[in-house]
Amino acid sequence: MAIKAFILDLDGVITDTAEFHFQGWKRLAEEEGIEFTRDDNEALRGVSRRRSLEILLGEHQDDYSEEEMQEMMDRKNGYYQDLLKQMTDDDLLPGARELLNTLKESGFKIAVASASRNAKTVLNSLKITDEFDTISDGHSVDNPKPAPDIFVHTADKLGVKPEESVVIEDAEAGVEAALAAEMTAVGVGPEERVGKAHYRYDSTADIDVEEILA
């Protein structure tokens, strides 16, 4: 079936917010006396805010009440939002603008499907909100990636079938979600992270749309 739509993840595909997320979680971890390294942060790629906190707390999770968990998520998000204030349209990843232009010129529907509840703020800072036919974020569905829900929901909003949709993702959880949604999965990043995708490229700038459509 012919491809009609491209559904793009945001963090790690269009812009790189991983460092800001890391700084936010690192500050929270230090305040709580928990060790958290840049390596540990890799496990949070594409994962929801709550799941990220659970991973960060690890065995300490049982020491915290639901209210305390909520407060920590809010605290980290405050740190993250402060860092986001520095973001401008210079922070598009190399190749992101060109990719959007190529997809638009070829007549595809394009959407963002991000786990982030800050996705709209990030898109506004990057000044690309109007480029998309629809935007799904961390508020759109209950079950986060690796569940297929956000991609199925986004394809529905675009009025296309899963088999007419291509998902571009930098996270293992995102690739799993795209495959579970029975869409064409394009991974951005190393083999060990996104190797299960139908197509894999080292970076957004390397994505070859013609190859995906062939």
Can you tell me which of 15, 48, 154, 165 binds ligand BG6, judged by CB under 6 A? 48
Residue of 7, 12, 21, 56 interacting with Mg ion (CB under 5 A): 12
Contact 135, 152 (CB under 8 A): no
Asked if the bond preceding 162 is cis, omega within 30° of 0, the reply is: no
Q: Which of 9, 137, 149, 170 is catalytic?
A: 9
Which residue number, 4 or 138, has a Cβ lying nearer to ligand BG6? Answer: 138
- Which residues are within 8 A (CB) of 67 and not within 5 positions of it... i.e. 6 or more apart? none
Interface segment toward Mg ion; rule CB under 5 A; list 6-14, 131-139, 146-154, 199-207: 6-14
Tokens at residue 28, please? 């929270």
Question: How distant, in Å, are the alpha carbons of 49, 54, 101, 145, 172 from that of 189?
Answer: 21, 24, 22, 17, 10
Least distance to Mg ion from the beta carbon of 62, Å? 29
Q: Which is nearer to ligand BG6, 12 or 146 (CB)?
A: 12
Nearest to 91 by CA among 186, 167, 17: 17
Number of residues that bind Mg ion (CB under 5 A): 6
Site for Mg ion in 27-46 (CB under 5 A): 46
| Sites of contact with ligand BG6 (CB under 6 A) | 10-12, 21, 44-49, 52, 77, 114-118, 138
Instruction: List residues with catalytic annotation.
Output: 9, 11
